């Protein structure tokens, strides 16, 4: 989610107060929380935010021109409904949906293949972090001629930030890079599943599908499914709606920096991130000062300086957007803007062809919101990628059960398949 300029008061339920007031052993409970989409009628939502300031509400989105998505604690539901705001219900009980989502799948291999290929049942449920690591290790072990696991450095808590490198007939490291990041925002669980599906299809179909073979013979893929592993683990152990990393800082009582506001490019501008450590979009004390950004920047430059970056995608949820540069300025456009736009439109069309899912496309700042220190601006202007995009996955609309970050497990496979169809188009045409 693109997030910016939020008030700390709105976030007490999601992060600071509630999380720190809860004993470490327990999970933050969202039982009985009701999620609403409030129509803002094309206006800035400031007046509505003022009305909500006294609520312990969890705010999901900050591109509030069209709508404001919030979760309301059970004891405040009647006071909220008494405001008579124009709402639709996104979730009747967020806690119940988190509990359902938390019925993790059991990791299985495909028994009909001799290699250790993971079973497609992987895409029927969400999984524990340790199983995600097994998934990648097994895939790489099954396709040693086309893949290997690598690491780019360590997170604040010392977890390795790993990726899988895929290559085709030219041999390892011989072609321009296609570069993916997943799960920079910890609560955006669908992103790891989608990049896992794309990885799986590239490797499994390479030997039988000529279109897939052509793609993998043309590019080296560097896929990092969890660039914020500490945050992801924390969403599974403690607070499902955690977004940032888990970095502590002397003098700050709140934990976490937004890794996608900390990249060392246009970081110093105001208006696209927060300087308050308690906010969800906290940019850090200095450009690039999180361990995650240090490792990612270093690796990005090593890719840029070898074969170059053809395409970078930062996978996020939610809202169904394809966002081209730039985030830091709503008027700035890259030199190849016309190609960016044509390809983003083609990608949106291809995604929609499969199941009718609509993605909005356009330059990030003017389409959604200003962001500073984000990965796509850095990778466009500093790492000189030809294309560097943000894709915000499902859900888009506000029908009940499409409650933002907690996308029902039944939508993992269709979300993945429509993106795979889109990527086949994009990689053949980029």
What residues are labeled active site? 392
- Nearest distance from C-beta of residue 150 to ligand NAG, angstroms: 9
Tokens of 251: 């003098």
Select the span of 113-121, 333-341, 377-385, 386-394 touching ligand NAG (CB under 6 A). Answer: 113-121
Q: DSSP string spanning 356-412?
A: ----EEEEHHHHT---SS-HHHHHHHTS--SEEEEEEES--S--TT-BTTB--GGGH
Select from Zn ion, ligand NAG, none the partner in contact with residue 316, using the beta carbon and a kind-dependent cut-off of 5 to 8 Å.
Zn ion
Give residue number: closest CB to ligand NAG: 120
What is the DSSP secondary structure assignment for residue 55, as one 8-state letter?
S
Report strand pairing: 67-72 vs 34-39.
Answer: antiparallel
Question: If contact means CB under 5 to 8 A according to the sort of partner, which of Zn ion, ligand NAG, none does residue 110 touch?
Answer: ligand NAG
Assess 106 for contact with ligand NAG (CB under 6 A).
no
End-to-end Cα spacing for the chain = 25
CB nearer to Zn ion: give 146 or 375: 375
In angstroms, give the least distance from the CB of 427 to ligand NAG. Answer: 22
- Is cis: bond before 326, omega within 30 of 0? yes
**Bridge partner residues of 58 (DSSP):** 71
State how far the Cα of 272 lies from the Cα of 392, in Å rounded to an integer: 18
1 contact, one of Zn ion, ligand NAG, none, CB 5-8 Å limit per kind = Zn ion
DSSP 108-145: -B-TTSSS-PBPGGGGGS---HHHHHHHHHHHHHH-TT
Of the pair 37, 185, the CB lying nearest Zn ion is at 185
Query: Going residue by residue from 286 to 315, which x/- string records binding to ligand NAG, judged by CB under 6 A?
Result: ---------x--xx--x-------------
Question: Which of ligand NAG, Zn ion, none does residue 305 bind (CB under 5 to 8 Å by kind)?
Answer: none
State how far the Cα of 313 lies from the Cα of 223, in Å rounded to an integer.
10
Which is closer to Zn ion, CB of 185 or CB of 424?
Answer: 185
Q: 192 with 314: CB under 8 angstroms? A: no
Q: Exposure string (b/e) for 330-364, b if CB count within 10 Å is 16 or more?
A: eebbbeeeeebeebbebbbebbeeeeebebebbbb
Positions touching Zn ion (CB under 5 A) are 1, 185, 316
The helices-and-strands tally (H runs, E runs) of the chain is 13, 12
Contact track, ligand NAG, 144-183, x by CB under 6 A: ---------x------------------------------
Among 7, 22, 110, 238, binds ligand NAG (CB under 6 A): 110
Nearer Cβ to ligand NAG (291/395): 291
Name 321's bridge partners.
360, 392
Cis status of the peptide bond prior to 395, with omega within 30 of 0: yes
Note whether 203 binds ligand NAG by CB under 6 A: no
Is position 58 an interface residue for ligand NAG (rule: CB under 6 A)?
A: no
- Candidates 29-37, 84-92, 118-126, 137-145 — which segment interacts with ligand NAG by CB under 6 A? 118-126
Q: Which stretch binds ligand NAG (CB under 6 A): 65-73, 117-125, 238-246, 403-411?
A: 117-125
CA distance 334 to 119: 41
Q: Which residue, 153 or 408, is less far from ligand NAG as judged by CB?
A: 153
83 interface partner picked from ligand NAG, Zn ion, none, CB below 5 to 8 A per type: none
As a residue count, the chain comes to: 430
# chain residues binding ligand NAG, by CB under 6 A: 11
113 lies in the binding site for ligand NAG (CB under 6 A)? yes
Rounded to 5 degrees, φ, ψ at 363 are: -60, 135
Instruction: Supply the minimum distance, in Å, between the C-beta of residue 168 and ligand NAG.
Output: 19
Q: How far is the CB of 332 from ligand NAG (least distance, A)?
A: 29
Q: Identify which of residues 119 and 276 has a Cβ nearer to ligand NAG in the complex.
A: 119
Buried b (16+ CB within 10 A) or exposed e, 185-224: bbbbbbbbbbbbbbbbbbbbbbeeeeebbebbebbbbbbb
| Phi, psi (degrees; rounded to nearest 5) at 57 | -85, 150
- The partner in contact with residue 145, picked from ligand NAG, Zn ion, none with C-beta cut-offs of 5 to 8 angstroms by kind, is none
As a whole number of angstroms, the distance between CA 328 and CA 365 comes to 7
Distance CA 127, CA 106 (A): 7
User: Which does residue 159 bind out of ligand NAG, Zn ion, none, counting CB within 5 to 8 angstroms by kind?
Assistant: none
Site track 391-430 with ligand NAG (rule: CB under 6 A), x = hit: ----------------------------------------
- The contact set with ligand NAG (CB under 6 A) reads 110, 112-113, 119-121, 153, 295, 298-299, 302
């Amino acid at each position: 989610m693109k997030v910016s300029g939020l008030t700390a008061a709105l976030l007490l339920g999601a992060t600071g107060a509630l999380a720190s007031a809860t004993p470490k052993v327990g999970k933050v409970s969202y039982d009985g929380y009701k999620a609403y989409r409030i129509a803002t009628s094309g206006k800035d939502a400031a007046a509505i935010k003022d009305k909500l300031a006294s609520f312990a509400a969890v705010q999901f989105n900050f591109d509030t021109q069209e709508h404001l998505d919030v979760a309301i604690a059970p004891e405040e539901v009647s006071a909220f409904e008494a405001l008579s705001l124009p709402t639709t219900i996104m979730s009747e009980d967020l806690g119940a949906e988190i509990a359902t989502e938390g019925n993790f799948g059991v990791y299985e291999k495909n028994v009909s293949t001799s290699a250790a290929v993971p079973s497609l049942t992987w895409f029927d449920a969400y999984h524990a972090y340790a199983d995600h690591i097994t998934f990648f290790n097994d895939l790489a072990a099954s396709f040693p001629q086309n893949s290997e696991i690598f690491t780019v450095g360590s997170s604040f808590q010392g977890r390795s930030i790993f990726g899988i490198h895929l290559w085709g007939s030219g041999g390892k490291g011989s072609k321009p890079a296609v570069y993916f990041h997943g799960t920079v925002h910890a609560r955006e669980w669908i992103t790891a599943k989608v990049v896992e599906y794309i990885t799986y299809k590239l490797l499994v179909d390479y030997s039988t599908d000529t279109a897939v073979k052509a793609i993998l013979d043309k590019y080296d893929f560097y896929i990092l499914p969890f660039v914020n592993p500490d945050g992801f683990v924390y969403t599974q152990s403690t607070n499902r709606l955690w977004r940032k990393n888990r970095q502590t800082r002397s003098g700050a009582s709140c934990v976490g920096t937004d890794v996608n506001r900390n990249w060392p490019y246009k970081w110093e501008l105001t208006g696209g991130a927060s300087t308050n450590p308690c906010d969800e979009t906290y940019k850090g004390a200095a450009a690039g000062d999180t361990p995650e950004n240090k490792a990612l920047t270093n690796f990005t430059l090593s890719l840029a300086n070898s074969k170059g970056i053809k395409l970078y995608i930062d996978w996020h949820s939610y809202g169904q957007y394809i966002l081209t540069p730039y985030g830091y300025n709503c008027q700035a456009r890259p030199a190849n803007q016309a190609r960016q736009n044509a390809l983003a439109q083609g990608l949106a069309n291809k995604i929609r062809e499969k199941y009718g899912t609509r993605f909005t496309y356009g330059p990030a700042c003017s389409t959604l919101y200003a962001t500073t220190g984000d990965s796509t601006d850095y990778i466009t202007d500093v790492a000189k990628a030809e294309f560097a995009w943000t894709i915000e996955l499902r859900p888009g609309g506000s029908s009940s059960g499409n409650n933002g970050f907690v996308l029902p497990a039944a939508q993992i496979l269709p979300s993945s398949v429509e993106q795979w169809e889109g990527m086949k188009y994009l990689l053949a045409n980029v």
